[in-house]
Each structure stands twice: as structure tokens, then as C-alpha cells.
Chains A and B, each alone.
Chain A
Amino acid sequence: MTDRALLSGRDLAVWRGERCLFEELHFELGPAQLALLVGANGSGKTTLLRIVAGLGVPTAGSVTWKGASVTELTGEDRAEIAYRGHVEALKRELTVVENLEFHAAIWSREQAFEQVLEELKLEQVAHMRARYLSAGQRRRVALAMLMLQGAKVWLLDEPTTNLDSEGRALLVEWTRRHVAVGGIAVIATHQPDEFAMRGALMIDLS
């Protein structure tokens, strides 16, 4: 397993003042692996995901992707990691399509998203400004952005929030497909059962 590890964290610790969120956390993820991040509110799920994405800095330890520290990735290596947080990164003033086009441009991706929009049932609102979308529709656009980026690693922070059952089923289905073709997914969730699959790694922060 060790020699196949692509994404790994060593000796990770985060202290918030006097309080320790977690310490001596290790993980190693190879191709076609799903990790579920569970833990009570405030146990550090978001903090850990942001560290893995390279946005946050741990008090101790490091996270590496293909042997290089995630904070120093450039170019295509950088684009292989997708992070989707609590906020959807939508510009309220732009339409759904304009948001997706911008997203495709900063990742230098093809602007072919008709099919994704159709699968997410977003064709009706494609030319509506993002401010008029419902919370669930915003989530769906965030999923479209995730698919558009075509990253090898998915870091998702409670991705099922606000999604209806149909949307959740679609997300689970996409995650399975992503892992099946060799992708890596790290998902912070309060309902690990939804994503449960064989060989999934559980990281419990409580």
C-alpha cells in the first residue's frame, strides 16, 4: 500500500490556542480510494480538508501529493486537486453559465458542460443569475464545477448539504464512478453511510 500512496499526511496536528483539534494524524491514500472524514461539529473536519487542499497550514506535520508538499504545487499538479468548501464560489451577479465559463478558464479546461448541466437538471436555470438560485441549486452548480475541473483528487466538505435525495444519489453515484476509475476522494460528512463502499477509509476526528 505504502508504495502506491499518492496523497499522504504525516504527523498532522492543529492547535487552536490551548485547544488541540487533532494530533499525530496519519493517512495514506492511493489510487481508487475513498476516505470519509467524520467527527462532531468543531472537531476539525474543515480545517483538515483545507490543510490537505493547501489552503491551511497545520501546526505540525505536512501533506504531500506525489511526494511534493501541497502548498508548493504548481501547474497541472495543482489542478489535479479539487477542493469544494461550504461556500460554492459562485458570483451572484453572473449567470450559471458565466460562472462555469470562468471556472473553466482559470483551470484551462474545455468549456463543454451541457451534459453536466443536463444531468444536474440545471438547464432551466443555466442563464439565470446565481443570486436567484435556491441553496440546493447552488450546490448543484458547485458539483458541476467539480466535474468540470476533472481533478484526480476530490476534497469535499459536507457536499450533501442542501441537496435533495435525488441530488445526493447523483453525488454518491459520481463519487463511486470517480473512485472506480482510479480517483481519490476525501469527503467530510455527517452521514458516512451514504457514501459507504468497500475499502473506504474512515478518519474519525472525535
Chain B
Amino acid sequence: MNVFRAVLLRDLRVAFRRWSELAHPLIFFVIVVTLFPLALSPTAAQLREVGVGVLWVATLLSSLLALDGLFRGDADDGSLEQLLLSPAPMTITVLAKVTAHALVTLVPLICLVPLSAYTFNIPVAALPTLAAALLLAAPTLSVLVALGAALTVSLRRGGSIVGLLVLPLTAPLLIFGTRATDLSVNGEPTAAPLLLLGALAALAVSLGPLAIAAAVKVGLE
């Protein structure tokens, strides 16, 4: 547990001292979301129709933008080797790193989504469900992104290939996430897709770190 705390605090500290990099995915998200109303005919009904999908796709894309730093920095300066050699179990270390990454990239992003929902004329009543769906999707998304980052840690330029690896795997999140938000916009019960998102999160958090740790080990050999 001490190791989890130490790694988490260290990663958060490093991230905040490079705060300008934290802003990149957020700005990307805002730009993508603003481009859509410009490209489409901006009638209120049509915007509401596409809004939910645009918000979800933009969230997935901007989370990819931030992932290169997850293991690359530690691999380059040698601290990943030391973490592997330390007696601390790698799954705990990985879980701490992924948590830190999610806190500094996904949480600010999720805070931006309700604001952007306003531009798409999505009713305020649907916002709690939208936020809940995003929060439930965040753990799964972080684990998938981390797995992609871990698999490409040995490549100099892993950025573009990670998108190809990870984006197809995010399809279930997109389907259940947009479904929950759509149902809530229409005032129907949303429990089923939210529960499925929760189940995916449980699966990702329990098994994900094992896979990520194994991928990091292979990557450094």
C-alpha cells in the first residue's frame, strides 16, 4: 500500500510540474467539439441528435492524446527498470500509475463534458446520466489506454500505432455510453447500459493491471 501511495503521489507531482502538457488533451477536446456545430447545420434538433455521439468520440480521442507519457517518461529515464527491479509487485505499481494518469487526464476531461453538452443543446436533465456513464467508462478507458502504452513502450514512436490498437477496443464503451445518454435524453430508464459499463470497469480494474505489468516487462527485455 505504501508503494501504491508513493507511486501515485510521485506521478501526480511530476504531472503537475509539467502542467502545460496536461492541457493539450483538454484543448483538443474543446476544439473537436466546437468544430462539429460549425460543420453541421446548427439547428437545435440536429445538434441534440449528434451531440451525444460527438461528445463520446471526442472523449475517446482526446484520452489517446495523453497516453504516450504514461510509461515513456519512466522508460526513458530508467525509473521503469528500477520499479521492475524493486520488490514491490508490478501490478500495484501499474495500478498506481494508471490511477494517477486517469486523475490528471480523464477527470478534467469529464468535468468539461457537461459544459460542452450545453453547446449541443443536450437537456440538463440528462447531464447526471452523462456524467455517471463517463465516470463508469473512465476506469476501462484508462486500462485500455495503459495497455496500449505498455505494449508500445519499446517503440520510439508509439503514438500512432496505439490508436490503432486501442480505439477498436473502446467500441463497447462507446455503445453503452451513448446508449445510456440517449435513453436519458428521451427520459427512459438507464440502468441497464450503466450497469454494463460498471461490469466492464470491474473487469478492467481487476485483470487489467496483470496484463499491463506483463506488457511492461516484455517491453523492457
A: residues with CB less than 8 A from B are 53-57, 74-76, 78-79, 81, 83, 85-94, 98, 102-103, 105-108, 129
A76: chain B residues at CB < 8 Å are 87
The reply to whether B83 and A106 form a contact with Cβ atoms under 8 Å apart is yes
* B85 near A105: Cβ-Cβ < 8 Å: no
A52 to B3, CA, bound (A): 25
Known: A89-B78, A91-B10, A129-B17. 8 other contacts (CB 8 A): A54-B85, A76-B87, A83-B81, A85-B81, A87-B78, A88-B77, A90-B79, A106-B93
Q: What are 23 inter-chain pairs, A to B, with CB distance below 8 A?
A: A53-B85, A55-B85, A75-B87, A78-B86, A78-B87, A79-B87, A83-B82, A85-B78, A85-B81, A87-B76, A87-B77, A88-B77, A88-B78, A89-B82, A90-B79, A91-B10, A93-B18, A94-B17, A102-B6, A103-B82, A106-B86, A107-B87, A108-B3
- The 8 A-B pairs with the shortest beta carbon distances in the complex, nearest first, are A87-B78, A105-B6, A89-B78, A93-B17, A106-B86, A78-B87, A89-B79, A89-B82
In terms of DSSP, what is the predominant structure of the interface of chain A?
Answer: loop
State which residues 51-90 of B face A: CB under 8 Å: 73, 76-79, 81-88
Which residues does chain B contribute within 8 Å of A106, judged by CB atoms?
3, 6-7, 82-83, 86, 88, 93
Asked if B87 and A57 make an inter-chain contact with CB atoms under 8 angstroms apart, the answer reads: no
Q: Which residues does chain A contribute within 8 Å of B14, judged by CB atoms?
A: 91, 93-94
**Chain B: how many interface residues by the 8 Å CB criterion?**
26
Of chain A, the residue at the smallest CB distance from B76 is A87
A55 B220 Cβ-Cβ under 8 A: yes
Q: Decide: B77 and A89 in contact? CB cutoff 8 A.
A: yes
* B221 interface hit (Cβ, 8 Å): yes
Residues of A within 8 A of B220 (CB): 55
Q: Which residues of B contact A105 (CB under 8 A)?
A: 2-3, 5-6
Chain B contacts of A108 at CB under 8 A? 2-3, 87
Are B77 and A56 closer than 8 Å at their CB atoms? no
Task: List CB contacts (< 8 Å) of B3-33 with chain A.
Answer: 3, 5-7, 10, 13-14, 17-18
Least CB distance, B37 to chain A, in whole angstroms: 38
Roughly how many angstroms separate A79 CA and B3 CA in the complex, as a whole number?
A: 14
Chain A residues whose CB sits within 8 angstroms of the CB of B7 once the complex forms: 106
Task: Mark interface residues in B191-221 (1 if CB within 8 Å of A CB, else 0).
Answer: 0000000000000000000000000000011
Whether B13 contacts A98 by the Cβ 8 Å rule is yes
Whether B84 pairs with A55 at a CB distance below 8 angstroms is yes
Question: What residues of B have a CB within 8 angstroms of the CB of A86 in the complex?
Answer: 78
- Complex CA distance for A179 and B218, rounded to whole angstroms: 33
A87 nearest CB neighbor, chain B only: B78
Shortest beta-carbon distance from B217 to chain A in Å:
9
Q: Which residues of B contact A56 (CB under 8 A)?
A: 221
The contact of B13 among A55, A81, A88, A94, by CB within 8 Å, is A94
- B81 contact set on A, CB distance < 8 A: 55, 83, 85, 89
Name the B residues within 8 Å of A83 (CB-CB). Answer: 81-82, 85
Q: Is the CB of B77 within 8 A of A91?
A: yes
Q: Considering only CB atoms, which chain A residue lies closest to B18 in the complex?
A: A93
Which of A75, A76, A106 gathers most chain B CB within 10 Å?
Answer: A106
List A contacts of B77 (CB < 8 A): 87-92
Chain A's closest residue to B5 (CB) is A105
CA gap between A89 and B79 in the complex, in Å: 4
The answer to whether A79 and B221 touch across the interface, beta carbons within 8 angstroms, is: no
A91 contacts B221, C-beta separation under 8 Å: no
| Residue numbers in B under 8 Å from A54 (CB-CB) | 85
A-chain residues with CB within 8 Å of residue B85 when the two chains form the complex: 53-55, 78, 81, 83
Residues of A within 8 A of B82 (CB): 83, 89, 103, 106
- A112 CB to closest chain B CB (Å) equals 17
